[in-house]
């Protein structure tokens, strides 16, 4: 087998992006945590844009198609799905392929609500889902500063990266 065979790579990185629109009469789920807010994120599942971006980063690191291909929004099985369950399923895939999560970093672009008071809870929740220490989960909460990177009060966008290492 060649030294460069996929199965022999010790490290793999992945990047994920997601954005959802804020809507009324929805719970705001972020990182598996319910955040008190007058609006929540629209979506076929629970709309957890942060978990979706991390899920995509893991899938990307494995060279697999994204979350929409793995869990199609045309499939009624995933209507109002708990994104925690979807991420856990992808974590099992990571483990089955012989990898472990080294660390995750994320940038949550969001004007409302202010996420700084919740950053610790988000970090703990994601660490628990991924079964890694809190110090291996980065949560950067950024406001748009009027740049329209995410429409203020209308949407939340997330970028996430992961590093996987091969278990020997
Ligand atoms: Mg999504």
Q: How far is the CA of 127 from the centre of ligand 1 (A)?
A: 20
Residue 4 lies in a domain: no
pLDDT value at position 136?
98
Q: How far is the CA of 52 from the centre of ligand 1 (A)?
A: 5
Q: Tell how strand 137-142 and strand 99-109 pair up.
A: parallel
Q: How far is the CA of 107 from the centre of ligand 1 (A)?
A: 15
CATH code of 115's domain: 3.30.1330.50
145 falls in which pLDDT band (50, 70, 90)? confident
pLDDT value at position 106?
98
108 falls in which pLDDT band (50, 70, 90)? very high
pLDDT value at position 149?
65
Flag whether pLDDT at 6 surpasses 70. Answer: no
Residue 18 lies in a domain: yes
Domain that holds residue 104: 9-166
161 falls in which pLDDT band (50, 70, 90)? very high
Q: What is the pTM of this model?
A: 0.92
Q: How far is the CA of 18 from the centre of ligand 1 (A)?
A: 5
**Phi, psi values for residue 77, rounded to 5°:** -60, -25
Residue 2 lies in a domain: no
Q: How far is the CA of 77 from the centre of ligand 1 (A)?
A: 16
94 falls in which pLDDT band (50, 70, 90)? very high
Residue 1 lies in a domain: no
> Contact 113/28 with Cβ under 8 angstroms?
yes
Q: How far is the CA of 117 from the centre of ligand 1 (A)?
A: 23
Please tell me the total count of domains within the chain. 1
Q: Is 16 helix (H, G, I), strand (E, B) or coil?
A: strand
């Amino acid at each position: 087998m060649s030294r460069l065979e996929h199965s022999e790579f010790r490290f793999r990185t992945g990047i994920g992006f997601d954005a959802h629109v804020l809507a009324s009469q929805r719970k705001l789920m972020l990182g598996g945590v319910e955040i008190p807010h007058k609006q929540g994120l629209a979506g076929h599942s629970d709309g957890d844009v942060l978990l979706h971006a991390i899920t995509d980063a893991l899938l990307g690191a494995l060279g697999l198609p994204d979350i929409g291909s793995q869990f199609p929004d045309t499939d009624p099985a995933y209507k109002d799905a708990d994104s925690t369950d979807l991420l856990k399923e992808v974590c099992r895939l990571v483990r089955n392929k012989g990898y472990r999560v080294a660390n995750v970093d994320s940038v949550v672009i969001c004007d409302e609500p202010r996420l700084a008071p919740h950053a610790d809870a988000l970090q703990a929740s994601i660490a628990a889902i991924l079964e890694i220490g809190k110090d291996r989960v980065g949560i950067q909460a950024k406001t748009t500063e009027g740049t329209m990177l995410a429409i203020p009060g209308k949407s939340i966008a997330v970028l996430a990266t992961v590093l996987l290492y091969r278990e020997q």
